Chains A and B, each alone.
Chain A
Amino acid sequence: GAVVSQHPSRVICKSGTSVKIECRSLDFQATTMFWYRQFPKQSLMLMATSNEGSKATYEQGVEKDKFLINHASLTLSTLTVTSAHPEDSSFYICSARDPGQGQETQYFGPGTRLLVL
């Protein structure tokens, strides 16, 4: 199946700093990528939809100024957690839709574990 990578796999930062997470589709071009957040022992919650060449669509309750999303190319979307605080500590997962597999199929990255001290 299609491969999606995320970098870094884990990051520890101090409160107040910003952290950038990259999501790449390795063997296909993804016009749409999604960013999810997963709390321990809970399900994935959609944060935003990242569209190549246009602004991201954020879910209700997600601060767009806090979680900056940039989808600069067909294979790369970035999520920047700005001025991170301990409550932002979580597991962030991206997914990418492979148009060649139909509009409905998404492939997930391995996730990025963020710990804010």
Chain B
Amino acid sequence: AQSVSQHNHHVILSEAASLELGCNYSYGGTVNLFWYVQYPGQHLQLLLKYFSGDPLVKGIKGFEAEFIKSKFSFNLRKPSVQWSDTAEYFCAVTPDTGRRALTFGSGTRLQVQP
């Protein structure tokens, strides 16, 4: 079975700071990778996804993530955060076969201070 680790549980940044959130997964086969965001009081929204091809994927709101297969990582980045980026961020993975159910990481709470 697959698993996902997010090592940063709570990150506090000032506006305009750069962001990188770590995500590592374990699975023996091909995976699809996702980052979801949950703003306070709102439902999960897809930020970006990686299925195949260019390992650097760009998502909404200026976010990007890089898939490094050798490191089993899919870190999320944003060069300059805004106060409105304050939210919970979840990395998730599905195997490329079968039911394709999502396995989520524990989440990272990002707090951006104005």
Contacts and interface: CB of A to CB of B under 8 A. Distances in A.
A3 to B, nearest CB: 10
The prevalent SS among residues of A at the interface is: strand
A110 B40 CA distance: 12
Given A44-B90, A49-B99, A1 B46 contact: yes
A103 interface: yes
B43 interface: yes
A78 interface: no
B101 interface: yes
Contact of A97 (B36, B51, B100, B107): B100
Contacts of B45: 108
In this complex, the member of A43, A49, A95, A111 whose beta carbon has the largest number of chain B beta carbons within 10 angstroms is A43
A105 B43 contact: no
Interface of A: 1, 32, 34, 41-46, 49, 57, 93, 95, 97, 102-111
